Amino acid sequence: SKDESGFAAPPLVSQGVAVAAVGYDTAPKGHMDAMVLQVRRSLAFLAQQYSGIRGIYLCGHSAGAHLAAMVLSTDWSEYGVVPDIKGAVLVSGVYDLEPILHTYVNNVLNMSREVAQRNSPLLCVTPAAAAATACEVVVAVAQHDSPEFRRQSQEYGQALRAAGWSVSLLDLAGVDHFDIIEKLSEDSYVLTQVGEELPPSL
């Protein structure tokens, strides 16, 4: 939830970066289509509310990385604004939802195959437009993530590259699915450094 994401803010705020934590309705209240729509609307709202900012950088972990990746595939013509997305840091994400259909996780999500397919970033990669080529995407995965997380991160990063996006793949040693993101509160952590190298913005 957005309430649990504030720990990552201090190192970024200390460097002059404004941080917004986005919330959404989780399952079973939230359906996958609704979750993606809520996050896209949040980005549109931020872009309209803070039109003077020098760019937006997305960061998400696990399900959050999935939603941030779906933002990258958005057709903004439906939202009346085009957020200036300069970069994305996607950490231990889920980029193909179809394997979830066969697990207990789908008992709560209740996704059909069609819902899973249209909300799978791996299947929704759009060719990089002129703006997208200037967008730096970091796809990070933990050494001790499950083989499925590692496979999906590799395949999604390769799919973005094939579509013309600028992508860096980070395979972080000595961390698992949880401490790869929990360590963002540490100033010296590699992903924190990635964030601090970004120009002051949102």
List, for residues 138-161, the tens digit of each pLDDT value: 999 999 999 999 999 999 999 999
* Spatial strand order in the sheet of 136-142: 56-61, 85-91, 136-142, 166-172
User: What residues contact residue 81 under an 8 Å CB cut-off, 6+ apart?
Assistant: 44, 47, 48
| Domain 8-192 coded CATH 3.40.50.1820 | yes
Q: Catalytic residues, which ones?
A: 62, 145, 177
- Taking each helix axis as running N to C, give the angle between helix 32-49 and helix 63-72, from 0 to 180 degrees, rounded to the nearest 10: 60
What would the mean pLDDT of 19-25 be, rounded to a whole number? 91
- What's the CA gap between 10 and 18, in Å, rounded? 10
Residues paired with residue 172 on neighbouring β-strands, in sequence order: 142
What would the mean pLDDT of 86-96 be, rounded to a whole number? 95
pLDDT for 132: 60
Quote the pTM value: 0.88
More confident residue, 2 or 196: 2
pLDDT for 200: 43
